[in-house]
Structure 1
Amino acid sequence: MTTVKYTPNPHQKPQLTKEQEDKLMALCDQDIDYSDIPELDNDFWQKAGQRQPSKTPSGGSITNHS
């Protein structure tokens, strides 16, 4: 068996096919399976803190609009 190593480039998102995009856009929140994600308990929220967003060299905020 051949092992393939792959390191995704965070600056280049993979393109979805039209069919994949349509299927994704048709999903309702109720259709998403979150069962493999642990719930955040009170201990998590006790340790959580607020952080200011980083600034770009031009002074604008870094945001993700995708």
Structure 2
Amino acid sequence: MQITVAEEHCCGAGQCVLAAPDVFDQRDEDGVVVLLDATPPESQRAAVLDAAAVCPAAAIAVHE
């Protein structure tokens, strides 16, 4: 699993951080998503897929 984020589309809602805090964070200055782990372990799959699904800006892409 490979994750990419489109920072320019991020609206700073923070739903990704709530869903998968080991994979996503937010910049302090503007709340834009920070990808902590572009290739997380399989144990994070459900959380990452949930984060991508709840992102209101569709800024998270998961590639198999």
> Which range, TM-score by smaller chain?
under 0.3
Please, what TM-score do these two structures have when normalized by structure 1? Answer: 0.19
Which structure shows the higher helix fraction?
Answer: 2
Please, what TM-score do these two structures have when normalized by structure 2? Answer: 0.19
